[in-house]
């Protein structure tokens, strides 16, 4: 096959992958619409958490435990400023919970645990239709083993203005459709990992690796899986050197678009994780990124530079079906039989 034919074939593959992702997102959108049809999204039951004892609960987990299983209402858990030293789990049978601070620097959920990727998280979100706002979520275990700060395994989860901090496997973006906006995510090794279909918009990714750590380790292991990470209008910085990603799964899919890349990004850009077997099956792509680390002159040849047409499906919330499930902050709060006007700002 000649060089021209290979280029044409590569473009066809890129377009097929893009349109497959769009089809999958449309199917997810239909499912999301059905899930939210019976929920009043304008009004939420308000629960307050305050370490001083002036709220409904002193611990975040106690507030979550108070939500009835299979709830059919929105629950808004407002966490007052403080450092909450606890492991927190949002169970699979408790959907439609919002966990909100007021400023991420003042509302901190912290723990220290390492080893098992599913057992170490400080915050585990298993329930669907979860929203996290203005929180710091951290695992202080440090280097030496997997130490997840945030695990997201529920479908249709969104995070706004959060700080997510650890060293290895900081964010286990496990499965489902997810959205992250204006979040700061920090780590050294594979610090955004998992097999979700996620859009990261206007996020700051900061590598604390001193020597070629990987920012992403996306786990898509089949062509039929509609998963992958897209980073749109993001900022990537670091204290040493870092790769944009390496493949946890054979069909790993990651796209960086319209994003700033500092000199921390190594010229090759992408790592094949100690072998060439995945180079022909992964989909690693960039579109109109800028900054000293965005120069593609020395990128690995098995990564892609997308055209406008090829990039289009990755540049909107439609790629995660977000138009049908991303929701605004509630307009009203309910406390007992009283309904009051909410004043928490929008997401």
Tens of pLDDT, residues 184-216: 999 999 999 999 999 999 999 999 999 999 999
Q: Tell whether the model's pLDDT for residue 102 goes beyond 90.
A: yes
Both tokens of 176, joined, read 């489902």
pLDDT given at position 213: 97
Least confident range of 153-157, 183-187, 268-272, 276-280: 276-280
pLDDT given at position 2: 47
Q: Beta strand pairing status for 150-152 and 123-125?
A: parallel
CA 343/CA 328 separation, integer angstroms: 12
pLDDT given at position 9: 45
Annotated active-site positions, please?
169, 190
CA distances for 242 relative to 132, 212, 236, 281, angstroms = 28, 4, 10, 22
Both tokens of 335, joined, read 């406390």
pLDDT given at position 173: 98
CA 59/CA 204 separation, integer angstroms: 29
Tens of pLDDT, residues 131-160: 999 999 999 999 999 999 999 999 999 999
pLDDT given at position 276: 82
pLDDT given at position 33: 57
CA end-to-end span of the chain, whole Å? Answer: 51
Q: Rounded mean pLDDT of 53-67?
A: 97
CATH of the structural domain 3-38+101-326, one choice from 3.50.50.60, 2.160.20.10, 3.90.79.10, 1.10.1660.10:
2.160.20.10
pLDDT given at position 7: 45
Residue 321 pLDDT class (50, 70, 90 cuts): very high
pLDDT given at position 34: 56
pLDDT given at position 31: 55
- Taking the domains of the chain in order of start, what are their residue ranges? 3-38+101-326
CA 128/CA 66 separation, integer angstroms: 17
């Amino acid at each position: 096959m000649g060089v021209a034919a290979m280029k044409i074939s590569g473009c066809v593959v890129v377009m097929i992958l893009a349109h497959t992702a769009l089809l999958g997102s449309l199917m997810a959108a239909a499912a999301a619409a059905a899930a939210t049809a019976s929920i009043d999204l304008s009004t939420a039951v308000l629960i307050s958490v305050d370490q001083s004892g002036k709220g409904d609960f002193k611990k975040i987990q106690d507030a979550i435990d108070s939500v009835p299983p299979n709830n059919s209402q929105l629950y808004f858990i407002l966490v007052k400023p403080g450092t909450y030293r606890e492991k927190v789990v949002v169970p699979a049978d408790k959907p439609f919970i919002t966990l909100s601070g007021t400023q991420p620097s003042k509302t901190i959920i912290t723990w220290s645990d390492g080893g098992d990727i599913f057992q170490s998280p400080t915050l585990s979100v298993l329930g669907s239709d979860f929203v996290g706002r203005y929180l710091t979520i951290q695992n202080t275990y440090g280097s030496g083993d997997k130490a997840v700060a945030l695990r997201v395994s529920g479908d249709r989860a969104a995070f706004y203005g959060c700080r997510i901090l650890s060293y290895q496997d900081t964010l286990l973006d496990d499965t489902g459709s997810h959205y992250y906006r204006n979040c700061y995510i920090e780590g050294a090794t594979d610090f955004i990992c998992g097999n979700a279909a996620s859009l990261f918009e206007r996020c700051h990714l900061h590598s604390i690796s001193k020597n070629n750590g990987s920012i992403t380790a996306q786990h898509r292991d089949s062509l039929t899986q509609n998963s992958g990470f897209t980073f749109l209008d993001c900022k990537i910085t670091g204290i040493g050197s870092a790769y944009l990603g390496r493949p946890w799964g054979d069909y790993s899919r990651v796209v960086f678009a319209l994003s700033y890349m500092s000199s921390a990004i190594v010229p090759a850009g992408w790592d094949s994780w100690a072998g060439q077997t995945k180079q022909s099956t992964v989909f690693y792509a960039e579109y109109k990124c800028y900054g000293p680390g965005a120069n593609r002159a020395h990128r690995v040849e098995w990564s892609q530079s997308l055209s406008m047409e090829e990039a289009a499906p990755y540049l909107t919330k439609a790629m995660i079906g977000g138009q049908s499930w991303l929701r605004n902050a509630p307009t009203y709060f309910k406390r007992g039989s009283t309904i009051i006007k909410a004043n928490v700002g929008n997401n």
